[in-house]
Amino acid sequence: MPAPSQPPSVNGRASRDGFFQIGEVAERVGVTQRTLRFYEEKGLLRPPSRMEGGFRLYSEEDIRRVERIKQLQDLLGFTLAEIKEMLEADDVKLQLRLEWRPEWDAEAKIAQLERAIAVTDGQQALVRQKLRALMELDGKLEDKIQRYRSWVRDLERECLGTVEEV
Amino acid sequence: MPAPSQPPSVNGRASRDGFFQIGEVAERVGVTQRTLRFYEEKGLLRPPSRMEGGFRLYSEEDIRRVERIKQLQDLLGFTLAEIKEMLEADDVKLQLRLEWRPEWDAEAKIAQLERAIAVTDGQQALVRQKLRALMELDGKLEDKIQRYRSWVRDLERECLGTVEEV
DNA sequence: GTTACACTCACGGGGCGTAAAGGTGA
DNA sequence: CTCACCTTTACGCCCCGTGAGTGTAA
């Protein structure tokens, strides 16, 4: 973990420099403080910077990461292990961006980009696997609904006819 | 798993009348016997019929239900609670079908069908919620890939042009 | 002195695994 | 009788957190 951390907290009044304490983060994102520490412990969140006294100071970037975890977990039903994979892929891409040097020649840049594409492709494959299964299920439900509806229409026509033809 | 049940159950009788014992079901579906009993305990599976000695006898219908559980769980990442909801919706629909009487008048039939539609709609809503989230995520990933690719194309042109125009 | 945070220890539920001790059936 | 297969009871484990208690920082 090369954790090239955020600006070191200058002593004195550092808290409001675009950084947030754990309580603020917890409230904003909708998780408990305990959960934030838990994620950190499990390696899902990089250790944030700290104040002199030891209080955690989260950057906006950190907060986005927490939100991403919540999204992957709540909405998509990923396990923390899967989420960690996803985040690590994100990290790789971030790392690639940090390594980027404008003075590189085009081939080096292309190679870097190709690596980023490969990582993103991997993420997408994971997502699409679940996506396909869900779409199939949705289609089946839709079919059923349509069959029910057409049946209802038939019956309504029969109703209006007031008399059935045997 | 030590997989003790590897001795070929090649004495493959269809256990009398299209019913199957727990071990056969477990092997066919790819879950353990423990899991089957657990699902039953938790109300995900209706108690199957039994032999005189107490052995469970699963019908084809029961087996389909287990397969459905596996699908919802593995592929879609539903929790057992969500799966139970889904299955209960299925049960309601099954019940509606069993209650169906051809001698009903059209209005009664329509009402029954409307109830089935409502239940199916509920299931679909559950699915689509997850679906939307996944599609959004997929879209974001796709965008990124496209941006990377177009960047690569730019660089390749630059390469060929041999000279840059700042 | 009252928050807000730190850290540690533990406990809890979901989803099973697995072992124990014994009954069933071809 | 044997031997695979089944029964229930019950404790264990990993995952994903929640609380409680105690101590320190603001």
Q: What is the pLDDT of residues A133-144, one digit of tens each?
A: 889 989 999 999
Q: Average pLDDT, whole number, for chain A? A: 86
Please name the residue whose C-alpha is nearest to the C1' of nucleotide C16. Answer: B35
Query: Which two tokens mark B36?
Result: 């089957």
What part of B 49-108 touches A (C-beta under 8 Å)? 71, 75-79, 106-107
User: Which residue has 């412990």 as its token pair?
Assistant: A41
> Does the pLDDT of residue B18 top 90, yes or no?
no
DSSP states along B101-135: -TTS-HHHHHHHHHHHHHHHHHHHHHHHHHHHHHH
Least confident of A28-32, A125-129, B58-62, B153-157: A125-129
Provide the phi-psi class of B162: left if phi over 0, else alpha when psi is between -120 and 50, else beta.
Answer: left
Residues B44, B50, B54, CA angle at the centre, nearest 5°? 110
Q: For B101-121, what is each residue's pLDDT tens digit?
A: 999 999 999 999 999 999 999
Q: Show residues of chain B in contact with A159, CB under 8 Å.
A: 106-107, 110
Residue of A nearest to B125 (CA): A138
Q: What confidence tens digit (pLDDT) does each residue in A81-99 have?
A: 989 989 999 899 989 999 9
Nucleotide nearest to A70 (CA to C1'): D16
Quote the tokens at residue A55: 């209080």
Chain A interface mutation, best of B117, B126, B158, highest count of A Cβ atoms under 10 Å = B117
Residue with tokens 């026509």: A157
The bases of strand D with some atom under 7 A from any protein CB are: 4-10, 15-20, 24-26
Counting Cα atoms < 13 Å in the Cβ hemisphere of B2 gives 1
pLDDT tier at A40, thresholds 50, 70, 90: very high
Which residues have CB under 8 Å from A159's CB, separation 6+? B106, B107, B110
The chain-wide mean pLDDT, for chain B, equals 86
First to last CA, chain A: 79
Q: What's the maximum distance between 2 C-alpha atoms anywhere in chain A? A: 91
Least confident of A49-63, B53-67, B74-88: B74-88
The one-character DSSP state at B20 is B
| CB-based contact A29:A70 (threshold 8 Å) | yes
Q: Please name the residues in contact with B106: beta carbons below 8 A apart, sequence gap of 6 or more.
A: A155, A156, A158, A159
Q: How many CB atoms lie within 10 A of CB A28?
A: 13
| Cβ contact A54 with chain C strand, < 7 A | yes
